[in-house]
Chains A and B, each alone.
Chain A
Amino acid sequence: MNERFILLIYGYFPHLNEGEGPYKVHTIVDERGAVDPHAISTALSESLGRNLEDPHELRFQNLEEINKFGYTLIDELDSPEIGIISIDSYNICLEKSTSLEEFKENITEAANKIENIDYSKDKGILSKLF
């Protein structure tokens, strides 16, 4: 697993079909610590033009919306990559894993990975600012 990898886990809840949609984000984790709620809010606004009212209710109509959001989020956080995985796939990975290493590999393999094409490890200060 990439050390700057961000993982987004979502669930599909058909009974949430009203309003913002049945896909709900369970967790977004980053090895650098808690993901900044401001970055999440900005990414949601920039990718889908929506305001984040409740950070625990990050919902989407379809997978395409999640992908768009994910891409904008890594751009916002200046991270190289995001892995997007459903709760069901996560559970399958867990069931078939016998060690932590294997579990990590299985998650990385099963997740839909989106790369940040603008990310560069060697960015200078000016390019980081602008």
Chain B
Amino acid sequence: MSTETLQTNDEESVFPGENWFFYWKTSASLWRSKLGELTNSNKIIVPINWSFHSEMGERFDFGELKPETNLSQLSTIASELGKEVIYFIPISPAPFIQNGGLPHFLSKALALDYSGMGMSQVGSNEELFKIFSWFDPKVFKAFNRFISAMGQYFYQSGINNDVYGMVCGFLHEGRFHSFLEDTSKEFHEAFSRYLDAKLKDQSTDFEKPQNEIEEMVLMHEFENLIGDLYRTSVEEGLSANFDGIVKVNFLGSSTTDTLKRIMRNEEVSRYSQELFESISRKMFVSTALLPKYLKKGVFGYQLKELVSENYITQMLDKTIEEDGFLTYAPLGYFEVFENSFLASFREDSWRGLGLLDFLYDRYRFSFFQTEDKDFNFSEENVNDSKVYFFQGEELTQHSYSEMLKFFMSGGQIILNRTGMPQELGQRLEMFLIENRLKVEKVNYSTEISNVQLNSGRMVLFHGENLVEQSDKSLQDFWSKLISTFNILHLEISVPDDVQVAWQSRNISTAELNFEEIRRVSFYNGSSYKKKVKVPHVKNFALVKIQDEKNVTVSNWSQETEIELLPDGHISMDFGVYSS
């Protein structure tokens, strides 16, 4: 093996991409020189490797024995280099560490995925990583002790860096699966204990699940409960530093990915699609498991442009936008709320109603999906002018109240009333009557009620009546409904193999003719030549074309024609004005 290969592998191991730094993979004496090499952003994500600090069993090492466990020194060095370390503490198994990050003495039961397959990953240097179950009570007790020791260490060492709890997982069929989800014997034993405890609890009228779906819902509830325990442990143990929870989609980490990677059947185009999906779900994305040779071409460029340069900083630090820096952020006209687990059992899920396909077709990379259990209203929601979609069936008392506050403050809402709890349905009717709001009703595939209050708008419909409709009817339904909202979008027909990313930013003083600047980027990851036609329309003035690679641009009176060769990409900046 050549020295060059060794160096490459070392770099790849220490910096697995997206500004992450694996402190345990290099000597502490090299931290300063290595961190100095990171130029993408001043934020460095440092995941905590529990097992690395726990090699002595219950005695934790934070620099006493191995200098590489000295996180205080790491924070200081980064700070001296003008960089900020953000710590991510895994609150689920971590697929990029041996045994999923569990100390060796706790790695007893192989975790099994939803289909019963042992969970494992192939690392960037072809290592085999296995995931072990976190449902053994001993694991939680040990985790708690570790977090408690770490909290004390942070306090005593004066480490004031932000800490996030990190849920590691992967996307599968439109749903994020945490590596905590597990169907091993340990999980089933813990679940049985949970069911027994619920049955014995006299204060509730809980009954044993009657069918497979009820049991799956309860299992999901139990998984969330255990996930909350791990989260709370970090939140309380490191309360002075704790800044929230992040979900990280590790590309190439599902069991199916592992099998494909064993067969050397890497699908870069799918990783690229997942990157886009992660951003639209406001998740972090990590390529820590992927070898460097895959992070090249269009995919490598997307990682740099869409993730490393701005996205990470924006996700971790909202103040950037407030300070008026001219950085681009993903553009979104819609915010689609839905719990993807519950949606998988429902015919009138947003996918079942054709909404997600419609948005993908017409507003690709311009909408967000969120799984948050509760909607919390803030002024930001009104200012972003997005249309919010809610499923009535998932509304809690809290979300319902927040949703109405949002509407009364000028927010735009589309609510599927099917399955909405009866009490909330009645409260909504009362709200409309008490506030003497005029309800305009129209029948178009289903009864649609439109309520307007100043700039606020609420559209109510019954999704159940749309379930049997053809795909074409559903597309027409959404097209008609969305056209009643004032959305200023440049519609571009893009071939399936070409990916498109929309971003926006505030204007600078030299751009006062516009209200905002939008950037559309096209990427051709296919092996064929592709054409995209960008129409010249009112409200969108082409300001700049940049980052052209393997493209030919032809300007015609009605449109700009872009020919993208394989691996080609281009970005176009438009000044947007509404009048």
Report which A residues bind B (CB closer than 8 A).
Answer: 1, 5, 7, 9, 11, 26-27, 29-34, 87, 90-91, 94-95, 97-100, 102-104, 107
Residue B483 CB within 8 A of the other chain: no
Q: Are B130 and A94 in contact (CB under 8 A)?
A: yes
Q: Are A29 and B263 in contact (CB under 8 A)?
A: yes
Kindly identify which residue among A26, A31, A98, A102 contacts B263, using a CB–CB cutoff of 8 Å.
Answer: A31
Q: Are B262 and A33 in contact (CB under 8 A)?
A: no
Residue B256 CB within 8 A of the other chain: yes
Residue B265 CB within 8 A of the other chain: yes
Residues of the A chain whose Cβ atoms lie less than 8 Å from the Cβ of B265: 29-34
Residues of the A chain whose Cβ atoms lie less than 8 Å from the Cβ of B175: none
Query: Complex: how many Å from CA A94 to CA B263?
Result: 15
Residues of the B chain whose Cβ atoms lie less than 8 Å from the Cβ of A27: 256, 259
Q: Are B117 and A90 in contact (CB under 8 A)?
A: yes
Residue B120 CB within 8 A of the other chain: yes
Instruction: List the one stretch of B71-79, B121-129, B135-143 in contact with chain A.
Output: B121-129
Q: Are A26 and B117 in contact (CB under 8 A)?
A: yes
Residues of the A chain whose Cβ atoms lie less than 8 Å from the Cβ of B116: 11, 87, 91
User: Given A31-B264, A100-B262, A95–B128 Cβ distance below 8 Å?
Assistant: no
Residue of A nearest to B123 (CB): A100
Q: Are A94 and B115 in contact (CB under 8 A)?
A: no
Kindly identify which residue among A29, A33, A100 contacts B127, using a CB–CB cutoff of 8 Å.
Answer: A100
Q: Give the residues from 204 to 247 in chain B that come closer than 8 angstroms, CB to CB, to chain A.
A: none
Residues of the A chain whose Cβ atoms lie less than 8 Å from the Cβ of B263: 1, 5, 7, 29-31
User: Given A91-B110, A99-B128, A103-B128, A29–B259 Cβ distance below 8 Å?
Assistant: yes
Sorting the interface of chain B by its residue count into under 10, 10 to 19, 20 to 34 or 35 or more gives 20 to 34
Residues of the A chain whose Cβ atoms lie less than 8 Å from the Cβ of B112: 91
Q: Are B117 and A91 in contact (CB under 8 A)?
A: yes
Q: Are A94 and B262 in contact (CB under 8 A)?
A: no
Closest CB in chain B relative to A24 CB, distance in Å: 9
Closest CB in chain A relative to B476 CB, distance in Å: 28
Q: Are A95 and B118 in contact (CB under 8 A)?
A: yes
Closest CB in chain A relative to B233 CB, distance in Å: 28
Residues of the A chain whose Cβ atoms lie less than 8 Å from the Cβ of B346: none
Residues of the B chain whose Cβ atoms lie less than 8 Å from the Cβ of A94: 110, 118, 120, 130
Report which B residues bind A (CB closer than 8 A).
Answer: 110, 112, 115-118, 120, 122, 126-128, 130, 256, 259-260, 262-265, 267
Residues of the B chain whose Cβ atoms lie less than 8 Å from the Cβ of A104: 262
How many A-B residue contacts, CB cutoff 8 Å? 60
Residues of the B chain whose Cβ atoms lie less than 8 Å from the Cβ of A98: 128
Residues of the B chain whose Cβ atoms lie less than 8 Å from the Cβ of A29: 259-260, 262-263, 265
Q: Are A91 and B118 in contact (CB under 8 A)?
A: yes
Closest CB in chain B relative to A107 CB, distance in Å: 8
Query: Complex: how many Å from CA A5 to CA B380?
Result: 54
Q: Are A90 and B118 in contact (CB under 8 A)?
A: yes
Query: Complex: how many Å from CA A116 to CA B502?
Result: 50
Q: Which 3 A-B pairs have the closest CB atoms?
A: A91-B118, A94-B118, A100-B128
Query: Complex: how many Å from CA A78 to CA B461?
Result: 53
Residue of A nearest to B116 (CB): A87
Residues of the B chain whose Cβ atoms lie less than 8 Å from the Cβ of A102: 128
Residues of the A chain whose Cβ atoms lie less than 8 Å from the Cβ of B267: 33-34
With most chain B CB atoms within 10 A of its CB, the pick from A1, A102, A103 is A103
Residues of the B chain whose Cβ atoms lie less than 8 Å from the Cβ of A90: 117-118
Closest CB in chain A relative to B270 CB, distance in Å: 10
Residues of the B chain whose Cβ atoms lie less than 8 Å from the Cβ of A7: 259, 263
Query: Complex: how many Å from CA A102 to CA B127?
Result: 11
Residues of the A chain whose Cβ atoms lie less than 8 Å from the Cβ of B256: 27
Closest CB in chain A relative to B120 CB, distance in Å: 6
Contacts A/B (CB < 8 Å), 6 sampled: A5-B263, A11-B115, A34-B265, A99-B127, A100-B122, A104-B262
Residue of A nearest to B173 (CB): A56
Residues of the B chain whose Cβ atoms lie less than 8 Å from the Cβ of A11: 115-116
Q: Are A87 and B117 in contact (CB under 8 A)?
A: yes
Query: Complex: how many Å from CA A11 to CA B114?
Result: 12
Residue of A nearest to B130 (CB): A94
User: Given A100-B262, A103-B128, A9–B117 Cβ distance below 8 Å?
Assistant: yes
Residues of the B chain whose Cβ atoms lie less than 8 Å from the Cβ of A103: 120, 128, 262
Residues of the B chain whose Cβ atoms lie less than 8 Å from the Cβ of A26: 115, 117
Query: Complex: how many Å from CA A98 to CA B104?
Result: 13
Query: Complex: how many Å from CA A9 to CA B255?
Result: 12
User: Given A7-B259, A29-B265, A104-B262, A95–B110 Cβ distance below 8 Å?
Assistant: yes
Closest CB in chain A relative to B546 CB, distance in Å: 34
